[in-house]
C-alpha cells in the first residue's frame, strides 16, 4: 500500500499487522490500522493526518474513529486555536486492556450470562432438557466465577496486576528449586536409549 511512503518500516509493519488482525478481532482492516497508527503516534492526530498517512478516504477515517470511540479506545482532544478534532490512544497499555476487556464483556459475555440465567429458571420438561440445563449450569458457574475474578483484578492497581500475572513464572521457579533440593528433575527428559546399543 502507498502508506509505506509515509511511515518508517517498523511503524509500517505494526500498522499493517493490526490491519490484518482486525477481522480476527471483529473489526475491519481500516479500523485496525487507524488504531495502530494512533497507538504508536507520539502526538494526537486529526482525521486529515490519519487519512493522508494511511491513504484512506476521509469518510472511512471518520467512520473508523467513531467505531473506536464507541469502543472507548481513543480519546478526543482539542488544541488551542485549532477547530479540528484530534485523537489519541490511551498511554497506559493496562488501561487499554482493561477497557477492551470491559467492552468485550458487555458485548459478548453479558448477553450469554443473561441467556443462561433465563434458561436455568425454566422448568425442564424432559430428560434431554434436564441434561442440557445441567450443562448450562456448569457453563454459567464457570463464566460467573471468571467475571467475579475479573472484577477483582479490575480493582487492582496496574503494578499489582502485573505482579499477579507474573506469579505463574514465580511458582514454576519455586517448584523447580524444590525439585533440585529433593533431587528430583521433572523438567529433564530421561536419556533416550540408543537403538544401536545391544548391550542392555
Task: Give me the pLDDT at residue 184, please.
Answer: 59
DSSP type of residue 45: E
45-46 and 75-79: which strand pairing?
A: unpaired
Residue 185 DSSP SS3: coil
pLDDT along the chain (200 residues), means of 10: 68 92 81 95 95 94 94 90 93 84 86 95 95 96 90 76 65 58 54 48
Cα dihedral 55→59→62→66 (10° resolution): -130
Task: Give me the pLDDT at residue 95, please.
Answer: 82
- 109 vs 150: CA distance, rounded Å: 12
* Residue 113 · residue 143 · CB < 8 Å: yes
Q: b or e along 55-82 (b: 16 or more beta carbons within 10 Å of the residue's beta carbon)?
A: ebeeebbebbbebbeebebbeeeeeeee
- 14 vs 37: CA distance, rounded Å: 8
Q: Assign domain 2-88 to its CATH architecture.
A: Orthogonal Bundle (1.10)
The ranges assigned to domains in the chain are: 2-88, 93-158
The strand order across the sheet containing 45-46 reads 45-46, 82-88, 75-79
Task: Give me the pLDDT at residue 174, please.
Answer: 55
Amino acid at each position: 500500500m502507498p502508506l509505506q511512503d509515509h511511515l518508517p518500516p517498523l511503524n509500517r509493519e505494526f500498522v499493517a499487522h493490526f490491519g490484518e488482525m482486525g477481522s480476527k478481532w471483529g473489526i475491519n482492516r481500516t479500523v485496525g490500522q487507524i488504531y495502530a497508527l494512533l497507538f504508536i503516534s507520539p502526538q494526537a492526530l486529526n482525521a486529515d493526518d490519519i487519512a493522508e498517512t494511511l491513504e484512506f478516504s476521509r469518510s472511512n477515517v471518520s467512520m473508523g474513529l467513531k467505531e473506536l470511540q464507541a469502543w472507548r479506545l481513543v480519546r478526543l482532544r482539542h488544541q488551542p486555536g485549532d477547530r479540528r478534532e484530534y485523537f489519541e490512544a490511551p498511554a497506559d497499555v493496562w488501561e487499554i486492556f482493561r477497557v477492551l476487556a470491559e467492552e468485550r464483556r458487555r458485548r459478548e459475555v453479558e448477553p450469554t450470562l443473561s441467556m443462561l440465567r433465563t434458561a436455568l429458571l425454566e422448568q425442564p420438561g424432559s430428560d434431554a432438557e434436564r441434561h442440557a440445563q445441567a450443562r448450562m449450569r456448569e457453563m454459567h458457574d464457570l463464566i460467573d466465577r471468571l467475571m467475579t475474578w475479573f472484577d477483582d483484578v479490575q480493582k487492582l492497581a496496574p503494578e499489582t496486576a502485573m505482579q499477579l500475572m507474573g506469579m505463574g513464572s514465580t511458582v514454576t521457579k519455586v517448584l523447580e528449586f524444590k525439585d533440585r533440593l529433593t533431587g528430583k528433575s521433572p523438567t529433564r527428559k530421561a536419556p533416550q536409549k540408543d537403538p544401536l546399543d545391544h548391550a542392555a
